[in-house]
Structure formats: structure tokens, C-alpha cells
Chains A and B, each alone.
Chain A
Amino acid sequence: MNILIDYWPLFRDGFLTTIELFLLAGVAALVLGMILAMLRVSPVPVFRAAGTLYVTVVRNTPLTLVFLFFVFAYPYLKILKLSYFTAAVVALTVYTAAFICEVVRSGINTVPLGQAEAARALGLTFGQSLSQIILPQALRSVVPPLVSTLIALLKNTTIAAGFSVAEAGRIRSILSDDGENQLAGLAWVSLGFVVLVLVLTMAQRTLEKRWSVAR
């Protein structure tokens, strides 16, 4: 208990940075993932191939390697200078977007073909059938796995601690520099994550209950 009180600012700032990383990377990954999903279901073969290539490569690469690339290798290309924090956001976004893409794509695939056919038979335009028939149904089946992906993203932010971002995973090394009890510190960090994950899981359950598809 003492360690939490003595080092309260450290814990607070660490978890705030974690949440900031999570929110920034989450929003960016949602946008990029959505674009990738659109590429993957597009009627144009080139777009589909590009989307598939991206997803296959990124999903089979460890996140740590993506971090390693953006922090150590990328600067050698001399394109744009990234701070450690930005590099972490970019790495998390690039990685998570591939998973979000798959979740969204499989959500679109769960909508039965008959729904779209019926919409067109009724004379709805492409925009109407997409916004009023397909997306509302797809969204419902997408939400639970989407939140699971976001929970994974939250846990993955800890890897940034290994690459000079002062977030919750980094608390340990600062405690170690001060010669404090690392076990106690790490136990508190774990508890913090359990609480954060619990909050997200609860949100997931609520949404799932409210939006579950009756089919």
C-alpha cells in the first residue's frame, strides 16, 4: 500500500499516458481498419489484394518487431522524425488496424445476402441499403469482437514501455532505479490493468445485451 501512496504521481502519470496511448491508437486504428475493410470487400481486385497483403503481413508479425522497426529502423529512412510517443501510437495503430479490419469484414459477411437483395428489390439506393439495412445489422455483430480487439490494444500498450514511453509498464524501471520493492509496484500495475479491462468488459456486456441480433 505504501508504495502506491509514496509514488502516487508516478502511477497516475503512467496510467494516464497508457490511456492516452490507448485512445489515440484506438481511434486511429478504427479509422485505418475501416479503410482496410473497405479495401478488402471492394469489387476491384487490386484493392482486395492490397488489403489482404497488409493484413497477412501485419497479423503474422509480432507487435514488438513492429515497435522495433518504427523506433530503431525507421529513422534510417529519414522520412519524418517521430517522437517515441508518436512512434508508439503509429506502431500500435498499424498493428491493431489489421485486426479491426478482419473484425469489420467478418461482420459485413454475417449479414445474409437476402437482406441486401430485398433492399434492392424494394428500390432502395446503394447508400440507403448500406446505411439503413446492412450497416445497422453488421454493427451489432461487430461490437463484441471489436471491444475484444480494443482490450487487446489496451494490454498491448505496455510494450511501449520497452521503447522509452513513460507509461504504466515503465513504472517498474523507475521503482527499480530508486531501489524500491518492484514486486509490490508490479502488483499494483497489474491491478490497474485488471480494473481497466474490467471496465471495458462491462461496456462490452452492456452493448452486447442491448444490441444482440435476434435472427
Chain B
Amino acid sequence: MSNVLFDTPGPRARVRHRLLAVIGTLVLAGLVGFVAWRFYDTGQFDGRKWEWIEYTYVQEQLGTAVLATLKAFALGAVLALLFGAVFAAGRLSEHKPIQAVSAFVVELFRAIPLLILMFLFYYGLPTVGVKMSAYTAVVLGLMLYNGSVLAEVFRAGIMALPRGQSEAAYALGMRKTQVMVLILLPQALRSMMPTIISQLVVLLKDTALGFLITYDELLHFAQFYGGQGQFARPFIPVAIVVAAIYIGMCLLLAWLANYLQKRERRSKKHIDLDDGGTKSNQLVLAGDAGAGGAGAAASA
């Protein structure tokens, strides 16, 4: 294995690497061992701390919590995609006022922290008489923030298409809307699909912010049952289970992104983008430092 930093190792380097591997394994084993010992010492492996998971009622509550998270994710994702499409079209419009307004909206909502947006909806708006449930506030926040990031992703995708595509379409006598809807959008969507899904992973993770405005979702479940004295305050076991659920859901989405990307590369309709898609990847990175899981890591 040779890369920019290292040559293919020779015999002496191989011995050194093996030595380092042994030392590294020992250090890692030491770290893991220390944590495991702390877990054991404070009784996190006791059956008593894991009993909570055996109660049907608690299981039902866990199911409801997962559903609540997914509900916010589903509606938030659909609305964010719509919002993104509308404002991407706005920024690409030929009318200067529409362009300016869309650019302002997109840049504004990308700069305000999502949590502050949710606070604005949930705590701020009631002072002017608009009351909404925590669920609505979470979904609106997710829509505005992730929608703005997605608008930039769509725009980058359309801009990265070779100019010849739209020129050919205009030469064939198509109108502006036809060029956009029939020629540019389908190609851009296909090439942007992995990035879009990465942003959806970010959106899924961001539903957890709902916890801070009292939306009843997975983290709320974790905090409530983690503090229950009757189950011996199983905070760490609950946190492990909840983290595993989140990681599982995100990895599923990331896997989907990877799969679509592979299929796209094999497809006959594949065209090379002008900038190789790096711009849009950066956008998503900016999106909460959250390009999705393994998918984006592999494509980088």
C-alpha cells in the first residue's frame, strides 16, 4: 500500500510497523480496558441496570420515541427538499429581485444556529400571539435550515453541469422552464443524490435538538428513563442503546447514499461534473459539520 505519504514498506519498515502495531494495540486495549473497568466498577454491567429494557411498557415508550424522531425527520425532510428546490430555482432565476430575495433568505437561515431558530418559533413567536407545538417548531426549524443548505446543494449541482447541456437544449428551441425541468434538474438530481442524502443524515441528527425545546423524542426518552430511581438510574445503558439506534439509522441512510452513488457511476446516463462535485460536498460539510457517515467519507 503506497500513498502520498508513504512508500511501499521494505523489510525494515515492515518490522517497525509490526512493532508499532503491537504497541498501538496495547495502548488501545489499555484505553478500552480502563473504560470497561470503570463501567464494571460503577456497576454498569449489573443486570439491575439493564432491567428496564425488559418491561413491555418501556419498550413501547422507546418505540413511540423512535417514531416521534422519525416523524419529525420525515416531514422535515420533505419540506426541506421542497424549500431547497424553490429557493435554488429562485437563486438561478433571471429576475434580479427574485434572485436577491432568495439569496438573502438562504444565506440568513444558513447563518442562524438551528437551535436559535427553534427557540424563535417555540418561545419567540408566542409573544406576538402565534402559538405552535414543539413538533411544528422542530419541523419548521429543520425545514428552514436544511432547506437553505439543500438549496445551495441543488444550485451547485445545476451550475456544475457542463454548459453544453443547456446550450444544446436552447439550440433545440426549448424554453427556460423546459430546459430547467427536462434537462438540467434530472441530471443534477442524479449527480447530487449522495450529497442530498448526506444532508438528510444531518437532518436526522438535528431532530435531536427537539429535546431542548421539550419535543418528546429519543433523547427525551433517554433523559427520563436514565434518571429513574426504580431502575437504578441506568443513564449509561440507556445512552448506549439510544446512541446505537441513532448510529444505526444514520448508517442505513449513508449506506443508501453509497449504493446510489455506485449505481450512478455504472449507469449509462452518468456525466462528469465540471468540478467533480467537490463544491457541493463542502457545502454539506458546512451544513453542521455533518456530511453523512461512511458514505461521504468514502467519496471524499
The residues of A with any CB-CB pair to B shorter than 8 Å are 41, 43-47, 50, 55-57, 59-65, 68-69, 72-73, 76-79, 95-96, 99, 102-103, 105-106, 108-109, 111-113, 115-116, 120, 130, 134, 144-145, 148-149, 151-153, 155-156, 158-159, 161-162, 169, 172, 176, 181-183, 186-187, 189-190, 193-194, 197-198
Complex CA gap A128/B14 in Å reads 22
Q: Is B172 an interface residue, CB under 8 A from the partner?
A: no
Q: How far is the CA of A62 from the CA of B254 in the complex (A)?
A: 15
Q: B7, A120: Cβ atoms under 8 Å?
A: yes
Contacts of B219 in A (CB 8 A): 62, 64-65, 68
Chain A min CB distance to B129 (Å): 11
B208 at the binding interface (Cβ < 8 Å): yes
- Give the residue of A59, A72, A130 whose beta carbon is less than 8 angstroms from that of B290: A59
B247 touches A169 (CB 8 A): no
The interface size bin for chain B is 35 or more
Given A46-B25, A62-B206, A190-B112; A113-B4 close (CB under 8 Å): yes
Count, A-B residue pairs, CB within 8 A: 205
Main secondary structure of the interface of B (DSSP, over half): helix
- A130's contact among B5, B28, B246, by CB below 8 Å, is which? B5
User: Is the CB of B56 closer than 8 A to any CB of chain A?
Assistant: no
What would be 22 A-B contacts, judged by CB atoms less than 8 Å apart?
A44-B20, A50-B28, A56-B294, A57-B247, A62-B207, A63-B208, A72-B227, A111-B4, A113-B2, A116-B5, A130-B5, A145-B286, A151-B286, A152-B289, A153-B289, A158-B115, A172-B119, A182-B123, A182-B124, A183-B120, A190-B116, A194-B112
Contact code string B221-246 (vs A, CB < 8 Å = 1, else 0)? 01100110000010110110011001
Q: Verify A102–B6 contact, CB threshold 8 A.
A: no
| Complex contact B289–A109 (CB within 8 A) | no
- Tell which of B125, B127, B208, B286 touches A65, judged by Cβ atoms closer than 8 Å: B208
Contact A106 B20 (CB under 8 A): no
Known: A43-B1, A108-B5. A148 touches B123 (CB 8 A): no
Q: Nearest B residue to A39 by beta-carbon distance?
A: B24
- Interface segment, B36-44, B90-98, B260-268? B36-44
B179 an interface residue at 8 Å Cβ cutoff?
A: no
Partner of B282, one of A61, A78, A109, A145: A145
List the 3 shortest-distance A-B pairs measured between CB atoms, nearest first: A62-B208, A148-B286, A152-B289
Query: Do A99 and B285 contact each other (CB < 8 Å), given the known contacts A108-B5, A152-B290?
Result: yes
**Interchain CB contact under 8 A, A96 and B201:** no
Q: Does B181 contact A (CB under 8 A)?
A: no
